[in-house]
């Protein structure tokens, strides 16, 4: 009896040692078989239990069971550790190597700048408005108080739309004369005021056209934003307040704004707006011209049937490309229209 009891502890120790020294799962299984398998040493020890005297059996059985539980726990622990090791990658991952990408597209920089402008204005209660790009002289010039013989109306500067190809329905309409591509978004001012009664608070982003050959600073197509606010008792002070707010939103809180008297046929008084901030200083300049604005000319109000004695308002407009070029340091306007993917991906 004593001999069997004495054998339990060394055998357990040697089983634990064998399990723990197993380098992988097959070795562990082999070790398990060597002790707990049908022919295993520990199984053999248990079989010998029956040879003991009846009164000795409970104590020996208890001791053997305790050892077995201990071995099985060790086995489970070793198995878990080895399984964990087996499931790990065989080779280390190179975290510096490029991952497998999914591409997300980029919004065109002009879209992004336009949206920033729209967002700034909307915070002030402006609604986005829209109008046709093919316009007539009334909305593009006449109603905006542009003199009949103003150079802007020249075929030199403005694209006129053809009367349509010969024959067919188009030719029969006749009165297409004076149909043009709008030269500014200001035409939408007129369209909106014709349709809606005051007060008006709109912003109009859109494409405009001038008959310029493309170069680093010109493209026959470009974008403008127009703002129009009509209400009772609107003053130059209101115009300044809004412009300053919007440009600080757009160009940073260090932006300074300056108004210079200027001339536009549809505003009176008229101003040009210059701005200055760290970017401008970097360009070696004190001020950069950025927009034109003014108080809506009473003649314009009369043209759309608003009473200038009751209503006053301001309008301002600026080029989106110019803002984008300043903001991102883009030096050639044509890049916007080439849509080189290496360009688009930068924004």
Partner 1 sequence: MKITLNWLKQYVELDWTPEEMTERLTMLGLEVEGVVKLGGAFEGVVVAQVITRDRHPNADKLSVCRVNDGKGERQIVCGAQNFQPGDKVPLILPGASLPPKPGDKEPFTIKVGKIRGVESHGMMCAAEELGLDPEALGLKKEDGLLILKPDAIVGQAFGEYLGRGGSDVVFDLEVTPNRPDLNSVIGIAREVAAITGHPLQLPPLVSSDAGEGDTAADLVSVQLDAADLGPRYTARVIRGVKIGPSPDWLRNTLEKVGLRSINNVVDVTNFVMLETGQPLHAFDYHLVAKGANGRPTVIVRRASDGESFVTLDGKQHTLGSEHLLIADSEKGIALAGVMGGRNTEINDRTVDVLLESAYFSPTNIRRTSKTLGIRTDSSYRFERGADVGMTDWASRRAAHLIQETAGGRLAKGAVDAYPAPTLPKQITLRHAKVSELLGVTLTPDQIEVSLGSLGFRVAQRKPRAVDDATPPEPVTFTVPSYRVDMKREVDLIEEVARLYGVDRIPSTPPRHAKGSHPFDDRYDELMQVRRWLTGLGLNEAQGQTLVSKSTIRGLDPAMVVGLANPLSSDMDALRPSLLPGLMDILRHNLRHRNGDVALFEIGRVFRREGGSVREGRSLAIALTGARQPAFWAGAERDAKLELSDLKGLIEEFFEHAGLRGVGFVRREEPSDLFVESATVAIGGKLALGQLGWVHAQVAKSYDVRDAVLLAEFDLDQILTRRNAGRAFKPLPAFPSARRDVAMVVSESVTHEAVLQAVRQAKAGDLEAVELFDVFRGGSVPDGQKSVAYAFTYRGADRTLTDAEVTASHGKVVEQLKKQVGATLRE
Report if residue 328 touches partner 1, rule: CB under 8 A. no
**Residues in 233-262 that interact with partner 1 by CB under 8 A:** 233-238, 240-242, 244-245, 258-262
Q: How far is the CB of 337 from partner 1 (least distance, A)?
A: 6
Residue placing its CB nearer to partner 1 in the complex, 279 or 344: 344
Q: Considering only residues 57, 79, 106, 327, which one is a binding residue for partner 1 as defined by CB under 8 A?
A: 106
CA distance 347 to 342: 10
Report if residue 104 touches partner 1, rule: CB under 8 A. yes
Other Cβ atoms less than 10 A from the Cβ of 166: the count is: 7
Q: How far is the CB of 123 from partner 1 (least distance, A)?
A: 9
Q: How far is CA 280 from CA 38, 213, 244, 275, 284, in A?
A: 88, 27, 16, 8, 7
Sheet of 288-296: strand order equals 127-128, 200-209, 221-231, 312-319, 288-296, 267-276, 256-264
Count of residues that bind partner 1 according to CB under 8 A: 96
**Residues in 266-285 that interact with partner 1 by CB under 8 A:** 268-272
Pattern 139-168, partner 1, x by CB under 8 A: ----------x----xx---xxxxxxx-xx
Binding region for partner 1 (CB under 8 A) out of 8-16, 57-65, 73-81, 101-109: 101-109
Report if residue 221 touches partner 1, rule: CB under 8 A. yes
The closest alpha carbon to 319, from 184, 172, 195, 213, belongs to 184
What φ, ψ does residue 54 adopt, rounded to 5°? -55, -45
Residue placing its CB nearer to partner 1 in the complex, 90 or 100: 100
The closest alpha carbon to 333, from 344, 325, 323, belongs to 325
Report if residue 132 touches partner 1, rule: CB under 8 A. yes
């Amino acid at each position: 009896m004593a001999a069997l009891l004495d054998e339990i502890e060394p055998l357990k120790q040697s089983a634990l040692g064998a399990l723990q020294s197993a380098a992988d799962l097959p070795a562990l299984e082999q070790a398990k078989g060597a002790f707990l398998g049908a022919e295993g040493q520990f199984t053999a020890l248990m079989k010998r239990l029956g040879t003991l005297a009846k009164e000795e059996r409970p104590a020996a059985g208890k001791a053997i069971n305790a050892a077995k539980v201990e071995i099985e726990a060790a086995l489970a622990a070793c198995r878990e550790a080895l399984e964990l090791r087996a499931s790990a990658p065989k080779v280390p991952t190179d975290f510096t190597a490029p991952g497998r990408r999914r591409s997300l597209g980029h919004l065109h920089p002009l879209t992004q700048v336009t949206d920033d402008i729209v967002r700034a204005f909307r915070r002030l209660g402006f609604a986005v408005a829209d109008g046709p790009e093919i316009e007539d002289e009334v909305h593009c010039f006449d109603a905006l108080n542009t003199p009949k013989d103003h150079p802007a109306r020249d075929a030199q500067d403005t694209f006129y739309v053809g009367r349509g190809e010969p024959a067919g329905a188009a030719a029969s309409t006749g009165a297409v004369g004076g149909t043009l591509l709008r030269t500014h978004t200001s035409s939408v001012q007129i369209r909106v005021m014709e349709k809606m009664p005051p007060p008006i608070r709109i912003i109009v982003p859109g494409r405009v056209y001038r008959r310029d050959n493309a170069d680093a600073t010109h493209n026959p197509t470009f974008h403008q934003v127009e703002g129009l606010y009509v209400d009772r008792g609107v003053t130059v002070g209101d115009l300044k307040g809004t412009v300053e707010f919007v440009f600080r939103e757009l160009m940073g809180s260090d932006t300074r704004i300056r108004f210079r008297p200027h001339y536009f046929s549809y505003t009176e008084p008229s101003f040009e707006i210059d701005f200055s901030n760290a970017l401008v200083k970097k360009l070696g300049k004190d001020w950069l011209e950025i927009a034109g604005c003014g108080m809506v000319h009473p003649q314009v109000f009369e043209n759309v049937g608003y009473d200038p004695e009751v209503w006053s308002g301001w309008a301002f407009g600026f080029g989106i490309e110019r803002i984008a070029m300043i903001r991102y340091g883009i030096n050639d306007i044509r890049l916007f229209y080439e849509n080189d993917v290496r360009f688009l991906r930068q924004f």
